[in-house]
Chain A
Amino acid sequence: MKQLMSFIRKEFYHILRDKPTMLILLGIPIIQIILFGYALTTEVKNTQVAVFVPTNDEATQRIVEKINASAYFDVVKYIHSSKEIQPTFNDAKAKLVVVFEDHFAQNLRRTGSAHVQLIADATDPNAATSFTFYASNIIASYQKELMAESKNPYQIIPEVKMLYNPQMIGAYNFVPGVLGMIMLLICAMMTSIAIVREKEMGTMEVLLVSPMKPIYTILSKITPYFVLSCVNFITIMLLSVYALKVPIAGSFLSLVVVSLLYIFVSLALGLLVSTLTSSQQAAMLISGMGLMIPVMLLSGMIFPIENMPIALQWFSKIIPARWYISAVKSIMIQGLGITSVLKEVSVLGFMSLVLVAISLKKFKVRLE
C-alpha cells in the first residue's frame, strides 16, 4: 500500500508540474462545450427565406409579412414556380423556402384548413430545427389571430421538410458527444502517453527491476487520469446544465454509472495502446488517428450512424464511444432509466473485459 501511495503521489507530481498540459486537459471540455454550444450552433437570426406563393391573397400576404417582420427571418426572394425551389438552395440564396398551396386563403375559408410547406436546408441540422420551429410558431400565431377574429375553426397545417439531412440529429447531441470524446482523449491518449514516456525515458526498466508489482504500476498510472476525467465529467455536466440549459432528464446516478464504465473502457484502451507502442509520438498517433478520429466521425457524434454505408455502420459497432453516446443520450436527453440502456451497458462491459484481459496479458509479456 505504501508502495502504491508513493507511486500515485509521483504521478500527480508529473501532471501537476506539467502546467500547460494540465491546463489543456482541463480547458478542452470547457472550450468545446462553449464552441459547440454557442459558436457552432443555431445562429438563426436573419435566416434568408424564399417564398413561393401560387395565389397571392390576404392570408399569404399576412403570413409573409409576419415572417419578414420577425428578427429571425429576412424574406429575400419570391419564386414563381416549384422548379425554382431547388436552385434557390443551390445558390445558397435561402435556407428556408415557404411554399403555400394554391388558393391558400380560399381553402382556409371554405374548408377551414390549408397547407403550407416549410422546406429547410438541413445541412446544419441544429439551425434547421430551430428556424423551422420558429417559422411554424409564426404561422401558428397567425392562425390564432384568425381564430380570435371569427368563430370558425381555422387550421393551417405547416408541413416541415428537411432537405439533405432527414434524420436530424438532436440539438443537444453534442453534449454526449463531447463527453465521449473528452473521456477518451484523457483516459486513452494521456494514459498511453504517460506509460510510454516511462519506457522512452528508461525509467520503466528501473520500475520493472524494482519489487513494485506491474499491476501497481498500472493502477498508479491510471489513478490521476481517472481523477482528471471525473473533474472533466463534472465540468461538462455543470456547463451543459447551467450554461447551455440542457437538463439531465434522467437519473444522474445512472449517468455516473455509465460514465464510469466508459472511463474504464477508455483507460483499458490507453493501456493497450501503451503496450503496443514504444514512443510517445507513436502512442499519440495511434490514439489520435486510431481512437479520436473514428470517435468523431463514426460514433454518431457528428454524422448520424443511420446515414452511413452498411460497412461503416458495422464498423461503428466496435467503437466504444458509439455505445456511450447513445446511452448518455437516452439517459440525459430522453430521460430513460438505466434499464433502457442495458444493451449499451453490456456492450461496454464486454469491451472493457476484453481490453483489460488483452492489455494485462501484453503487459506481462513485455516483462520477459
Chain B
Amino acid sequence: MDNIQIQNTSKVIVAEQLTKTFGHFTAVDNISFEVEKGEIFGFLGANGAGKTTAMRMLCGLSIPTSGKGFVAGFDIYKQPELVKKNIGYMSQKFSLYDDLKVWENIELFGGIYGMKDKEIRLKTDELMHILNFENERNKLVGSLPLGFKQKLAFSVSIFHNPQVVFLDEPTGGVDPITRRQFWELIYDATSKGITVFVTTHYMDEAEYCDRVSIMVDGRIEALDSPKNLKMHFDAKNMDEVFQQLARKAKRVDS
C-alpha cells in the first residue's frame, strides 16, 4: 500500500479518459496515461493525430470535453491557473521575441512568472555561462542562428523552474548536431527533476525518450519504452514501429 502512495505523488501528469470533440469531430478520443517525475515522455503521432490538442488540454489552453487531467498535482479543469504557474512551454513556432535582446527576453518571462528581480539577474548570469552565451547577452534574439534561439527558448521555458515542461516539436528545422546539443539540455533539465513532455516527428529523437506514446486518429495506440516497443512490433528502429502504427490511420490532416 505504501508503495502505491508514493507512486501516486510521483506522477506529474495524469490523464484519465481525456476527450476533446469539436462538433462531430473527435480530436482526442478517450486517452489515459501517466508520466513519472523526471521522465522524458515522447508524444508521437502523424499530423492531425490529435497530439497538439491533447497537449493544449494538459497546458490549460483548452478545456476537455470529458475526462480528467492532473498536471503538477493540479486539476487542469478546476485549477488551470495553478497548472500554468507550474509548467513551462515551448511551441513549435519560435517562442521568443526577435526584437528584444537576449537578456530582455529572459527578464520578460521571468517577470511574467513572478520571479524576483534579483533572482532573475542571478539566474541570467548563470544561464549565460552555461550556454556559453556571454557575448550574445546584449544581442537581439532575431540576429542569432536558429540553433542558438532554440536552445535559448528551451532555457527560458524552464527558467522559472517548472515541474513539467511541454515541448511542441521543439527541434523543427534544426540540424542534427544542434538537435543533439538540444537533447543534452533536455537531459540536464530532467536531472534537476523537471519532467519533460515532448512531441516530435523525428524518430531518432523518439529513441532518446524514456517512454513513448504513439497516437493514431485521436487514440493512443501504443505506449512503452522505445526498447519494448521495438521488441513488440519486431522492428529495427522507432521509425518502423511508427510506420506500422501510422498505416492504420484513417484520417489525414485535420
Residues of A within 8 A of B (CB): 2-3, 5-7, 9-10, 13-14, 17-18, 201-203, 205-212, 367-368
Q: A345 to B168, alpha carbons, bound, how many Å? A: 48
What is the interface size of chain B, counting residues whose CB is below 8 A from a CB of the partner? Answer: 33
List residues 126-160 of chain B with CB under 8 A from any CB of chain A: 140, 157
Contact partner of A3 among B60, B63, B89, B112, CB < 8 A? Answer: B112
Q: Which residues of chain B have C-beta atoms less than 8 A from A209's C-beta?
A: 59-61, 84, 87, 89, 166
CB within 8 Å for A206 and B107 given contacts A7-B112, A211-B84, A367-B61: no
- The answer to whether A208 touches B61, judged by C-beta atoms less than 8 angstroms apart, is yes
Residue B100 at the chain A interface, CB threshold 8 Å: yes
Closest 5 CB pairs of A and B: A202-B93, A6-B111, A209-B89, A206-B95, A211-B84
- The answer to whether A210 touches B109, judged by C-beta atoms less than 8 angstroms apart, is yes
CB within 8 Å for A205 and B113 given contacts A13-B99, A14-B99, A367-B61: no
Q: How far is the CB of A279 from chain B (nearest CB, A)?
A: 13
- The answer to whether A211 touches B61, judged by C-beta atoms less than 8 angstroms apart, is no
Having A10-B97, A13-B104, A210-B89, one finds 11 other A-B pairs with CB under 8 Å, namely: A5-B111, A6-B110, A13-B100, A18-B99, A202-B91, A205-B89, A209-B166, A210-B112, A211-B113, A367-B61, A368-B61
Question: Interface on chain A toward B: helix, strand, loop, or mixed SS?
Answer: helix
Q: A9 to B166, alpha carbons, bound, how many Å? A: 27
Q: Which residues of chain B have C-beta atoms less than 8 A from A205's C-beta?
A: 61, 89, 91, 93, 95
Residue B230 at the chain A interface, CB threshold 8 Å: no
Q: Which residues of chain B have C-beta atoms less than 8 A from A203's C-beta?
A: 93, 95-97
Q: How far is the CB of A13 from chain B (nearest CB, A)?
A: 6
CB within 8 Å for A211 and B81 given contacts A10-B100, A14-B99, A206-B89: yes
Q: Which residues of chain A have C-beta atoms less than 8 A from B63's C-beta?
A: 368
Q: Which residues of chain B have C-beta atoms less than 8 A from A207's C-beta?
A: 112
Contact partner of B108 among A6, A17, A18, A367, CB < 8 A? Answer: A6
Q: Which residues of chain A have C-beta atoms less than 8 A from B85's C-beta?
A: 211
Residue of B nearest to A216 (CB): B112
Residue B62 at the chain A interface, CB threshold 8 Å: yes
Residue B33 at the chain A interface, CB threshold 8 Å: no
Residue B32 at the chain A interface, CB threshold 8 Å: no
Q: Which residues of chain A have C-beta atoms less than 8 A from B97's C-beta?
A: 10, 14, 201, 203
Q: How far is the CB of B124 from chain A (nearest CB, A)?
A: 13
Q: Which residues of chain B have C-beta atoms less than 8 A from A17's C-beta?
A: 99, 140
- 7 intermolecular pairs with C-beta atoms under 8 Å apart: A6-B112, A14-B99, A14-B100, A17-B99, A201-B98, A209-B61, A210-B89
Residue of B nearest to A9 (CB): B108
Q: Which residues of chain B have C-beta atoms less than 8 A from A9's C-beta?
A: 108
Residue of A nearest to B94 (CB): A202
Q: Which residues of chain A have C-beta atoms less than 8 A from B96's C-beta?
A: 203
- The answer to whether A211 touches B95, judged by C-beta atoms less than 8 angstroms apart, is no
Residue B225 at the chain A interface, CB threshold 8 Å: no
- Highest count of chain A CB atoms <10 Å: which of B87, B97, B107, B110: B97
Q: A202 to B62, alpha carbons, bound, how many Å? A: 16
Contact partner of A2 among B90, B91, B114, CB < 8 A? Answer: B114
Contact partner of A212 among B59, B99, B100, B112, CB < 8 A? Answer: B112
- The answer to whether B93 touches A3, judged by C-beta atoms less than 8 angstroms apart, is no
Residue B92 at the chain A interface, CB threshold 8 Å: yes
